[in-house]
Structure 1
Amino acid sequence: MEELKSVYNQEELFNNAVELLKKLIEIPSFSKDEYNTSAEIENFFKKHQIPAERFKNNIWAVNKHFDQSKPSILLNTHHDTVKPNKAYTLDPFTAIEKDGKLYGLGSNDAGASLVALAQTFLHFYEKEDLKYNLVIALTAEEEISGFDGIEALFPKLPNVELAIVGEPTQMNLAVAEKGLLVIDGEMKGTPSHAAHPNNDNSIVKCLEDLQGILNFKFPKVSDYLGEVKITLSGIHAGVQHNVVPEACNFTLDVRVTDVYTNEEAFEIIQSQMESALTARSFRLNSSKIEMDHPFVEAGMAIGRTTYGSPTSSDQAIIPCTSVKLGPGESRRSHTADEFIELNEIKEGIDIYIRILEKVL
C-alpha cells in the first residue's frame, strides 16, 4: 500500500479528542437516554465532512473509499454512562481539567476510548487501497447490555470480520473476556412458627445449597481466563422474626470463561444444587481472539501485552472475532470523581494508529 499521510497531525488529533470528550462529559447520557450525546457525535462527523448514519441512538460511518468487496474492521465503543454515585465531590457533568487529568462522568468509561477511536477513524478516513474497510460505530445501552445498542445495529454494518471494542485496558489487548450469567434461585421449605421444630427450614436448606456451589470447582480451566467465578450477590427470605418462611430466594453472578457456553455453565450449576434455578439470559457469552491473529501479533510487535479480562462489555453480544483495547484503567470505571489522564488519550490514539497501520 502506498503511504498516504493523514490530513491531521498527531497534535490536532489529540486536541480534537479532548475537545469532543469535554463536550460529551457535560451531556448526561444514561443508558436508554443517549439522544443528546448521539447528536453531539453526529455533529462531530458533520464538522469533519464525514457522512454518518443513525440507527436509534447509535451513530456509524465508513471510510471514504469503502469497497463492498472487502471485509471490514469495526471500531466500536459506547457513549452511555451509569448514573453518578453519591460519593462524587466534583460535578460529574462538568469537564474539569487539572494536573494533567480530565475529570467527569464517562471520561474513563468509555469516553476516552470513544474520542481516541474517532480520531483514529479520522486518520485513516481518506486513505486509499486499504486491505480492509474501516467502520466506526459509537453505540448506546452498553452499560445495561441493552437490546438497542450494538446488538441492534450490528446486522446493518457491512461485512465485519474483526471488532475492536474500546474499553479502558491501559492500551493492552484483552484477548479474552468472561461472559456473564445471572441466575435467580429459590429454595422451598415448610413454613412454620419459629417456636416449633422444623427440619425443612428453607433458609437453612438454602444456605447449605449455596455453600456447596460456592465451593464448587468447574472441571475445565481456561488458559485465557482461569476458573469460572460464582458470586452470591443477593439473598432474601422472611418478613418477621417468628415465622419460618416457605422460600428463600437468592441471586448468583457467574463469570463464565471461554471453555464453557453460558448454557453449559447453567446446566452444571443446576446439577450441583437442589434449589430451583432460572437464568435471566444466556446472551452475554465469553469471547476470545486467537493469539496468532494478525491484530494481536501487530499489538505485541509494538510492545503491548495481552491478558484475559474479568469484566464484561459489548464483546459479549458482538457476533464476530473481537478484541478489547482502549485508554484508561478499568478500576476507575463507575467510581466517584472519575477521570482520564490526558496523556492516556494521546497514547491511545497513537497505539490504535500504529497497530492498524500494520493490519490495514
Structure 2
Amino acid sequence: MENVKILSYEAIELLKKLVETPSFSKEEDTTARIISDFFEGKNIPLQRKKNNIWAYNLHFDASKPTVLLNSHHDTVKPNKSWTLDPFKALIEDGKLYGLGSNDAGGCLVSLIVTFCHFYERDDLSYNLVIAATAEEEISGKEGLEIVVPELPEISFAIVGEPTEMHLAVAEKGLLVLDCAAKGKSGHAAREEGDNAIYKALKDINWISSYQFPKVSPTLGPVKMSVTIINSGTQHNVVPDLCTFTIDVRATDQYTLEEIIEGIQANIQSEVTARSIRLRPSSIPMEHPIVQAGLKLGRNAYGSPTTSDQALLDCHSLKMGPGHSGRSHSADEFIYLEEIEKGIAQYILMLEDVIGNKG
C-alpha cells in the first residue's frame, strides 16, 4: 500500500506539531487550531465546538449509516521523571518521543489520515465522521460528550487508544460511590455513643469480600475497592460519622444502576453516586469490524481502563497504535513503524466493512 507511506509521513508531521504544543485537559485551544489547519489545508470543511473538531466525508448521505472515528488531543501533565523535553518531538532509533505521542497522539493522527484516505470516496456504504476531542484525560464534560449530540446517529465507532492495534471489544465502566456510615457521638472513656467507624468497617468488610455473581467473558468480574476513608475529630470522642469512597469497575453484565442498588441493599451506609456517565461498553464478536480485525490476525480482549467509549451509546471498538504501558510514563514515545502499520490496518478493516464490498 504505497499510499500508506504518504499518509504515514503526513501523520507523523502532524503528530510532531501536536507534541510540541502543550494541550493539557481544558487547555487544548492551540492543538485544536493545529488540527483545524490540517483539515483546512486539505479543503475539508470542519466544525468546532469548544476545543473539539469534527468533519464528515465529502459524499455524506443521510440515508446511510455513520461510522465515528474518534480520539483525543488532550494530555496529562508530564511527571517529574522525564529526562527529555516533553514538548520536543525527538525522533531517535525509530521512535518519536514527546508528551502525548503514545496517548493518544499516534492514534489520533492515524485516524485523521485514514479519514482523509476515504474522504472523497463516493462508493462507501457508510458515512464517516472524524472527531478529535478534548478533556478525555479528566473524563471532562466538554469533550466528546458535547460533540455526540451534534452528530447523526452512530452505527458504530472506532475509538483510538494505544492497544498495539489489537481489538478491545469491551471496556470497564467507572462508578465512584461516596458512602456515609452514621452513628452517635459520645465520650470514648464511657460506654456512650454508636461508633460510626465500626459501622463503616462492617460495610467495608462486605465490599472487600463480595463478588457480583455475573462474570463478563471479556472483562471478568465487577471490581470494588475502598480507596478513601475519613472519620473522627479527636481521640476521646466516639465519631458519629465515617465516610468512605468506593471505586467500582463495572462490566457489561450490569448497568451502573443495578450495581448501586446491589451495594445499597447490602450495606447500612448511605450510598451516593458521583456520576453514572462512564458506563461499560462492548461490541459483539460477530460485528463486521471485529471480524475484519480478527481476519488480520489481531487479538480480541476486554480492557480494564476507561476511555471516551464510556460516553458513546453505540457499539464501539477501542483500537490504536502504541502500547498502553507507555501512557502517562516519563519519556513517552511511539514507534514510527507502529503509526504506519496502524494506518494500514485501519484502512484494511474499514475497507472490509464500509468499502464498495461492505
TM-score (normalised: structure 2): 0.94
Contact 2:186 2:194 in 1 (8 A): no
Of residues 23-32 and 174-183 in structure 1, the stretch that sits farther from structure 2 once superposed is 23-32
Q: How many residue pairs were aligned?
A: 354
Q: Which amino acid aligns with 1:287?
A: S
Pairing of 1:37-116 with structure 2 (within 5 A): 37-116=31-110
Tell me the equivalent position of 1:290: 284
Q: Which amino acid aligns with 2:290?
A: V
Contact 2:19 2:87 in 1 (8 A): yes
Pair 1:206 & 2:197 matched? no
Of residues 201-210 and 71-80 in structure 1, the stretch that sits farther from structure 2 once superposed is 201-210
Cα offset, 1:239, TM superposition: 4.1
Tell me the equivalent position of 1:328: 322
Pairing of 1:1-360 with structure 2 (within 5 A): 9-197=3-191, 200-360=194-354
C-alpha distance in 2, partners of 1:315/1:111? 17
Contact 1:213 1:272 in 2 (8 A): no
Alignment partner of 1:190: what SS?
coil
C-alpha distance in 1, partners of 2:122/2:240? 69
Structure 1: tracts of 5 or more residues without a match: none
Q: Which amino acid aligns with 2:65?
A: P
Deviations 1:311-338 (A, max 9, x none): 1111111121111111112222222222
TM-score (normalised: structure 1): 0.94
C-alpha distance in 1, partners of 2:110/2:81? 28
Contact 2:181 2:269 in 1 (8 A): yes
C-alpha distance in 2, partners of 1:239/1:342? 56
Structure 1 residue runs of 4 or more that deviate by more than 6 Å after TM superposition: none
Q: Which amino acid aligns with 1:116?
A: S
C-alpha distance in 2, partners of 1:139/1:226? 30
Cα offset, 1:306, TM superposition: 0.4
C-alpha distance in 1, partners of 2:329/2:188? 43
Contact 2:207 2:225 in 1 (8 A): no
Alignment partner of 1:9: what SS?
helix
Change (3 A) 1:200 1:148: same
Q: Which amino acid aligns with 2:259?
A: A
Change (3 A) 1:93 1:325: same
Cα offset, 1:257, TM superposition: 0.6
Alignment partner of 1:73: what SS?
strand
C-alpha distance in 2, partners of 1:126/1:281? 41
C-alpha distance in 2, partners of 1:120/1:352? 7
Q: Which amino acid aligns with 2:33?
A: A
C-alpha distance in 1, partners of 2:3/2:257? 49
C-alpha distance in 2, partners of 1:193/1:100? 67
